[in-house]
Amino acid sequence: MRNIEKDEIEMAARRETMLNEGFRLFSEGGIASVSMQEVANACKLGIATLYRYYNTKLALVLDIGTRRWEEYGSYVVERRREMDADSMTAAEELSFYLGFYVELYKDHKALLCFNQDFNNYVQHEGANMEQLKPYTKAISNLGTLFHPIYEKGQRDGTIRTDMPEGKMFSFTAHIMLAAAVRYAQGLLYEAGDEADRTGDLEFLKRMILKEFVAA
């Protein structure tokens, strides 16, 4: 008789290996350039086994993207709890929030590079909204954390709220994320010898705070 619990543990471990090795290969070599056979080889599995778990490369890529952003979103929520962000002023929490985009660049460059490539790949493959729903939900977690900051600012007056929330979010988080992605990919006109652009992102963060923190 098969041990169902043991089988489930082995299947979960195998899937975890696929997600980790797939992320590593796609981040290093580019999603379009890496074959499913290469992923299977890295996992030390037969290609047929990989396809039993993920019948298309798109399915694997979507699962990787979803998992990575779920993990980072959970980390952000836990850090908010540890730092008691609810007790901060809106200005303090905005600074804390923007810091996560700096941290993405410092500690998660592979995720930023993968995500940029991910967007191009899923568009090329024609992924539909239903297929993208788990990923969209995972990546939107960072965005949903901005809403209580804006509402808190309306109450305590420590940040400007004369601008609509959506536009303010675009001028803060979107700009920080776009810059972090560009730096992670090394897309600079004149990078010189400075490999680490953390200081640039910290400067951008201070500029945003100067614009939106109430005098």
Same domain, 41 and 64: no
Same domain, 138 and 79: yes
Same domain, 20 and 65: no
Same domain, 51 and 130: no
Same domain, 112 and 186: yes
Angle formed at CA 163 by CA 161 and CA 167, multiple of 5 degrees: 120
Same domain, 45 and 62: no
pLDDT digits (tens, 9 = 90+) for 37-47: 999 999 999 99
CA distance 123 to 133: 14
Domain end among 19, 35, 55: 55
Q: Which domain holds residue 126?
A: 58-212
pLDDT digits (tens, 9 = 90+) for 121-168: 999 999 999 999 999 999 888 788 999 999 999 999 999 999 999 999
How would you write the chain as a 3-class SS string?
CCCHHHHHHHHHHHHHHHHHHHHHHHHHHCCCCCCHHHHHHHHCCCHHHHHHHCCCHHHHHHHHHHHHHHHHHHHHHHHHHHCCHHHCCHHHHHHHHHHHHHHHHHHCHHHHHHHHHHHHHHHHHCCCHHHHHHHHHHHHHHHHCHHHHHHHHHHHCCECCCCCHHHHHHHHHHHHHHHHHHHHCCCCCCCCCCCCCHHHHHHHHHHHHHHHECC
pLDDT digits (tens, 9 = 90+) for 98-112: 999 999 999 999 999
CA distance 155 to 149: 10
pLDDT digits (tens, 9 = 90+) for 172-214: 988 999 999 999 988 665 555 457 899 999 999 999 999 999 9
Same domain, 71 and 51: no
Same domain, 73 and 43: no
Domain end among 55, 73, 97: 55
**In this predicted structure, what is the pLDDT of residue 12?**
93
Give the CATH number of the domain where residue 154 resides. 1.10.357
pTM: 0.87
**In this predicted structure, what is the pLDDT of residue 8?**
85
Same domain, 39 and 139: no
Same domain, 101 and 189: yes
Same domain, 46 and 63: no
Number of domains comprising the chain: 2
Same domain, 107 and 190: yes
Give the CATH number of the domain where residue 10 resides. 1.10.10.60
